[in-house]
């Protein structure tokens, strides 16, 4: 596993900095800087108390924490959220309580999401009249036996 130096500014010195729970983990835990109560179906953007400076050629991606998603239905609305290398503001996470019945209470300092830092490539787009053939072709959204295949079959038999 490679490492990359990421500068971090603590905007709230009483909160822990993002940290990896175990060796080999891909995501470092982000904490909420405020108490949050989310009613069923409610979303809220919450501060994390940290800002970072990524080197050029890297981005950070904010992912939901799987344990919170499984136990309480908490997710990140725009998962994964993208933190670009040029962004210097506070990392904020838009959370959503997907549970249909139970509100969710988070306390300041609770781990709410994971930050994954990855190298990224910048695409140079070349406009063409046609794309080269591939095994998959235009199949998407369940084309390996799900919804789209059923819809395609239905359209053919009409």
Residue numbering of the annotated binding site for substrate: 65-67, 78, 82-84
Q: How far apart are CA 65 and CA 100, in angstroms?
A: 19
Could you tell me if 35 and 108 are in contact, meaning their C-beta atoms sit under 8 angstroms apart? yes
**What strand order describes the sheet that includes 90-97?**
7-10, 43-53, 90-97, 74-76
Q: How far apart are CA 71 and CA 132, in angstroms?
A: 45
What is the residue-wise DSSP string for 63-100? EE-HHHHHHH-EEETTSSEEE-TT--SEEEEEEEE--S
């Amino acid at each position: 596993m490679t490492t990359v130096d990421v500068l971090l500014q603590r905007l709230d010195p009483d909160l822990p900095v993002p940290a990896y729970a175990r060796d080999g983990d891909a995501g470092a835990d982000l904490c909420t800087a405020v108490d949050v109560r989310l009613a069923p179906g409610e979303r809220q953007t919450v501060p994390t108390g940290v800002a970072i400076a990524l080197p050029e050629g890297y981005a950070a991606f904010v992912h939901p924490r799987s344990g919170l998603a499984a136990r309480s239905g908490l997710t990140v609305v725009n998962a994964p959220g993208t933190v670009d290398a040029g962004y210097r503001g506070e990392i904020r996470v838009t959370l959503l309580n997907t549970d249909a019945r139970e509100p969710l209470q988070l306390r300041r300092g609770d781990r709410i999401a994971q930050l994954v830092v990855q190298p990224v490539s910048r695409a140079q787009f070349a406009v063409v009249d046609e794309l080269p053939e591939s095994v998959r072709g235009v199949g998407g959204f369940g084309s390996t036996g799900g919804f789209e295949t059923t819809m395609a079959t239905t359209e053919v038999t009409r």
